[in-house]
Amino acid sequence: YDSVLQESALERLYRWTQTHCRNIESPEMSELLAQAMACLQDRPVLFKYVLDEYCTSRRSVLVRAFIDALTQGGPGGTPKPIEMHAHDPKRYVGDMLAWLHQFIPGEKENLLTLLKGCQKLDVSEHIQQTLSNITEGVCHPLRVRMEQILTFEVGPIVLYGVTNLARFYKQVIVQVVGNSLLESTLIDLEKLCYQTFLLTLESQVKRELSEKAEAPPSDLSPSPQVSQL
């Protein structure tokens, strides 16, 4: 009889936790949720179902916040929408990646709070997998916008700056959420930026040399056009 009551109580606790896990940012709820997850850690199936629900909820929150930052900006329009700077590739890419760099650690902190009472489990593994799932949603909007930037007629100097930004933020973001779709997306985008930079640089050098290059002076020093390159 006691076991029946215990299972019934755990089932009710599971239902409550699954419903309220989206409120992890509420100070009043976070402590109760942490206690609930600690009780559910002995029930792997129920524990996983709650984390799945949590992932779905937080993934939606992250995507919505990212799109709002891109298109609407902050409260009252401050800061301004990131897409207002789409004409400036370095600013645009830097602002998008900086936003992710600022927001994602908060998701990790939420997970640490949610699972802080789960002493019987390898919490780090659950956090890594859950964080990977949560951040999947921002990969597509980020990729689309960065790929679009690279189709513009942008000079090699700007593209070199964009490549360095992509490389820098890849390195810092993957320290928080490695082995994820976001990591592979950032790696792909860095490679694409670098390849586009090389192609643009090669094209510009060929154009400059074919159109403007003059014979070198008698001392065989570089001509002015070559020096400018």
The tens digit of pLDDT for each residue in 138-181 reads: 999 999 999 999 999 899 999 999 999 999 999 999 999 999 99
- The predicted pLDDT at position 168 comes to 98
The tens digit of pLDDT for each residue in 59-100 reads: 999 999 999 999 999 888 889 999 999 999 999 999 999 999
Q: Does residue 138 belong to any structural domain of this protein?
A: yes
Q: Does residue 124 belong to any structural domain of this protein?
A: yes
- The predicted pLDDT at position 177 comes to 95
Q: Does residue 224 belong to any structural domain of this protein?
A: no
* The two three-digit tokens of residue 51, written as one number: 């984390």
For residue 214, what is the DSSP state? -
- The predicted pLDDT at position 103 comes to 96
Q: Does residue 111 belong to any structural domain of this protein?
A: yes
For residue 220, what is the DSSP state? -
The tens digit of pLDDT for each residue in 82-91 reads: 999 999 999 9
The tens digit of pLDDT for each residue in 180-221 reads: 999 999 999 999 999 999 999 999 888 877 776 666 677 767
Name the pTM for this structure: 0.89
- The predicted pLDDT at position 155 comes to 93
- The predicted pLDDT at position 171 comes to 97
Q: DSSP labels for 166-211? A: HHHHHHHHTTTS-SSHHHHHHHHHHHHHHHHHHHHHHHHHHHHHHH
pLDDT above 70 as % of the chain: 94
- Is residue 35 scored above 90 in pLDDT? yes
Domain count across the chain: 1
Q: Does residue 228 belong to any structural domain of this protein?
A: no
Q: Does residue 226 belong to any structural domain of this protein?
A: no
The tens digit of pLDDT for each residue in 95-117 reads: 999 999 999 999 999 999 999 99
- Full domain range(s) for residue 97: 2-209
The kind and range of the H/E element at 100 are helix 89-114
In the predicted model, what is the mean pLDDT of the chain? Answer: 92
Q: Does residue 85 belong to any structural domain of this protein?
A: yes
Residue 229 pLDDT level (bands cut at 50, 70, 90): low
State how far the Cα of 36 lies from the Cα of 44, in Å rounded to an integer. Answer: 13
Q: Does residue 169 belong to any structural domain of this protein?
A: yes
pLDDT above 90 as % of the chain: 82
